[in-house]
């Protein structure tokens, strides 16, 4: 059998959730499991996030999957309802929704809220994707409060990973002043939710009532000034394969599609049983490597659909069937993202189901 696997370390996920609680001890935790838990398999990850106060999903379809799997605690649909029928289902089944445009507001106001019903009211502070403006937000909050809703004011950072980006301060000030105004002029019980993963790490004084960790849960760094290891995060996904063939090339021999790597001297190369059909990126920089027998083996040539090649010339103890780690402890998912000029989020979320998937506690 082809030795290509994805191992999900549920204990690492639980560890990372605890790290969030260490960073934000006074806030409730909305653990983001949208996009199938960032590619990790949301249903299988439920036991590892059991201590979260609620789960965040992108859409009702994701919430339904988790309900059917047995999740009984709160869920929040961060893109909100896409139809009146969805809104009605959510309100009937204690699923809370973000409201970010007029049509969703109209659905919310069509009938009085049930006791304890909560709306996550989206304020646009500069991301300029979703949300109401500051000029609109007071009247909307008054309408929701009059209809019996509790409110969590929420917004989303555009540059939280860059701690000194000037837009962060602008968003802070806009959110802070708006939340204060709403508490003074509409309802003092209105809650706030500002921080994503990067915000949780960077700004301990901005955690408010709810934090919304995403990538930090899965063991990748959310900031550009510290590695995951420096933040005491543990990788949750380990992507592994094996050496399926070994060849010796003479000087001048090329390997792979496009012949983009040529041996300058005699070289020993290994063929690894993984490719872009498994979720490993096709375009990778010359710095890229895998780890085999505890040693770095540079990736050479072009990654293909089912396999990639590594240079074993300067490694020892790497033989046929030797296990190969593509990402996990080393290299980290953040390193691989850098080699691909992308971010960990993308790589994790597009891994395919072709490898063997293993969940371990």
Which member of 21, 23, 28, 34 is catalytic? 34
Q: How far is CA 174 from CA 134, 137, 154, 217, in A?
A: 8, 12, 12, 28
Strand runs labelled E in 88-148:
95-99, 118-122
Per the annotation, the verdict on 191 as an active-site residue is no
CA 263 – CA 259 distance, rounded (Å) = 10
**Do residues 200 and 214 lie in contact, with contact meaning Cβ atoms separated by under 8 Å?**
no
> Whole-angstrom Cα distance, residue 25 to residue 151?
22
Phi and psi at 181, nearest 5°, equal: -60, -45
Note whether 111 and 103 are within 8 A (CB): no
Which residue spans within 94-160 are E strands per DSSP?
95-99, 118-122, 150-154
Residue 115 bears catalytic tag: no
Query: Scanning the structure block, which residue is given the tokens 């508490």?
Result: 183
C-alpha 61 chain-centroid distance: 18
| Binding residue ranges for substrate | 129, 305
Q: What are the E-state strand segments in 26-99?
A: 28-32, 54-57, 74-77, 95-99
Dihedral (CA of 180, 182, 185, 187) sign:
negative
The H or E element containing residue 358 is strand 356-360
Phi (first) and psi of residue 296, to 5 degrees: -80, 130
Cross-strand pairs, 219 = none
Residues 87 and 210: their CA atoms lie apart, in Å, by 22
Residue 312 half-sphere exposure toward CB, CA atoms < 13 A: 23
| Joined tokens for residue 285 | 């920089």
Q: Which helix (H) or strand (E) holds 34?
A: helix 34-38
Give catalytic residue positions. 34, 257
């Amino acid at each position: 059998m082809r030795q290509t696997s994805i191992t999900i370390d549920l204990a690492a996920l639980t560890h990372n959730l605890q790290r969030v609680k260490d960073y934000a001890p006074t806030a409730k935790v909305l653990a983001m499991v949208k996009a199938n838990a960032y590619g990790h398999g949301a249903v299988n990850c439920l036991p590892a996030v059991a201590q979260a106060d609620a789960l965040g999903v992108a859409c009702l379809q994701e919430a339904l999957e988790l309900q059917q799997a047995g999740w009984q605690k709160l869920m929040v649909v961060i893109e909100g309802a896409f139809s009146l029928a969805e809104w009605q289902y959510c309100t009937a089944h204690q699923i809370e929704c973000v409201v970010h445009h007029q049509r969703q507001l109209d659905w919310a106001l069509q009938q009085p809220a049930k006791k304890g019903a909560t709306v996550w009211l989206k304020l646009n502070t500069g991301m300029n994707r979703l949300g109401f403006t500051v000029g609109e937000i007071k009247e909307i909050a008054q309408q929701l409060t009059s209809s019996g809703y509790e409110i969590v004011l929420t917004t989303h950072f555009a540059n939280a990973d860059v701690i000194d980006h000037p837009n962060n301060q602008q968003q802070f000030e806009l959110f802070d002043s708006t939340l204060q105004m709403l508490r003074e002029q509409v309802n003092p019980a209105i809650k706030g939710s500002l921080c994503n993963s990067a915000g949780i790490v960077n700004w301990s004084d901005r955690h408010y009532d709810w934090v919304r960790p995403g990538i930090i849960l899965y063991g990748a760094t959310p900031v550009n000034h510290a590695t995951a290891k420096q933040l005491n995060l543990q990788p949750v996904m380990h992507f592994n394969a094996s050496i399926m063939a070994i060849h010796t090339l003479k000087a001048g021999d090329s390997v792979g599609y496009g012949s983009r790597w040529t041996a300058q001297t005699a070289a020993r190369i290994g063929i690894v049983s993984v490719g872009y059909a498994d979720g490993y990126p096709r375009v990778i920089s010359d710095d890229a490597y895998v780890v085999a027998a505890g040693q770095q083996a540079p990736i050479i040539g072009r990654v293909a659909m089912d396999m990639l090649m590594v240079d074993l010339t300067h490694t020892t103890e790497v033989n046929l069937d030797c296990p190969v780690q593509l990402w996990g402890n080393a290299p980290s998912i953040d390193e691989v993202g850098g080699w691909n000029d992308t971010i960990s989020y993308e790589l994790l979320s597009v891994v395919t189901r072709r490898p063997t998937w293993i969940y371990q506690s």
